[in-house]
Structure 1
């Protein structure tokens, strides 16, 4: 595939003389390919060890799956798997239990394959360098978070079960046994992108507390899948019904 650079010739224009003005412009396409710009063997040899190291890292098999793991709305096996992974890894890093974990649906950029799941697979799912942060929020803000993402069936959550009616969350049951009460506080592991108001979640900019745990979401997922691989048991892609529509 050729890549093109746009060459623009501007006639009669001078940045130094304000009395001039643009009178004409022309454009030509200059094709750049392996013929016009052959590979530099010296550069290729210089980069070879770095490329080999990158390939080795990206091709590391972390675990296996018995089937393709896909995201979905209002729920999908990948939604559940990723948020459960984040909840586990965030709690370990945080040093104490966290109530739930959240991911923005649009931030999940790919599905996971059947068979080998490699480091490269995780990079395809989560290519962004988003940090995992822990927010402490009131029950009222937690309800607002759930409602915000439930509207449009984009609620991707781990650590709780929710029923949605007409775009609003009507009931919440945390897997740790807690119930959602307006005046109580809850901890949520999530992307710094959402915590800073991404996905129109500006209401999260003023939580009770925000704690950065210096852990990339992608690294948390890689660590989780590597741990799963060490168990010798493949992943079975299933949804557990945590999100239901009434």
Structure 2
């Protein structure tokens, strides 16, 4: 019988593997360590390093875009903030798209703050819209548009521009574009909205298969900043109003 010949490398691996100790968890413990401005010690060197960046950021965020004669607040089913934000989105989306958009939509929960009376700054818009959601243009049939409206009408969370709607028991009874056209099931309409909702956010999964989707390289927040800057350049202050575009019966 011919004797077996073993590779020295394989022998070494076998020895090392056999010598490996085994471990098991004997116990575990956890401590809560609170870190805040009262317990953390400031690092003067780091503070000095960040100071120029902090000054630049403060200058940017404190830049005044426009002025308002009063607080601009969101509300259900209507609110001055609801109206001005969706109107702003509709205007800016149409400019970027190069042709009129029929409807604009914002999810109520995504509007995170109100706008103050007096100076409206870039920082104010960041507080209202802190997310980096992008503008998306969806082409929807009338049936799909009504599905969108009904989905957000439940709970009085419908925030739209470009149309008026009447709601009864959480269902849209009628919806008409601001140009007077009634929504027809088989016709198509363009809707400006955030990529979050277009991708099924807020349980709007039915929007994942539109007639057409066009992504615009434009943040919703930047659209709002541009709109309020334009309003400020007009020299006229903003007076908070709502046109009652959503009616609850």
The TM-score with structure 1 as length reference comes to 0.89
User: Which residue of 154, 177, 182 corresponds with 1:151?
Assistant: 154
- Aligned 1:84-163 pairs, distance under 5 A: 84-163=87-166
- Can you give the 5+ residue segments of structure 2 that lack an aligned partner in the other structure? 1-19
DSSP-derived class of the 1:162 partner: strand
Aligned match of 1:177: 180
Shift of 1:36: 7.2
Structure 1: distance between partners of 2:171 and 2:21: 60
User: Which residue of 181, 186, 191 corresponds with 2:189?
Assistant: 186
* Cα contact 1:163–1:172 (8 A) shared by 2: yes
1:195 aligns with 2:198: yes
Distance 1:34 1:111, change over 3 A: closer
Shift of 1:175: 1.1
Larger radius of gyration: 2
Shift of 1:33: 6.2
Equivalenced residue count is 231
Distance 1:30 1:140, change over 3 A: closer
Taking only aligned residues, the RMSD between alpha carbons, in angstroms, comes to: 1.9
* Cα contact 1:108–1:125 (8 A) shared by 2: yes
Runs of 4 or more consecutive aligned structure 1 residues displaced over 4 Å after TM superposition? 29-37
Structure 2: distance between partners of 1:89 and 1:63: 16
Structure 2: distance between partners of 1:108 and 1:56: 24
Structure 2: distance between partners of 1:110 and 1:171: 30
Q: Which protein is richer in strand relative to its size? A: 1
The TM-score with structure 2 as length reference comes to 0.88
* Cα contact 1:99–1:176 (8 A) shared by 2: no
Structure 2: distance between partners of 1:78 and 1:56: 25
Shift of 1:176: 2.4
Structure 1: distance between partners of 2:232 and 2:161: 21
Aligned match of 2:64: 61
- Aligned 1:218-229 pairs, distance under 5 A: 218-229=221-232
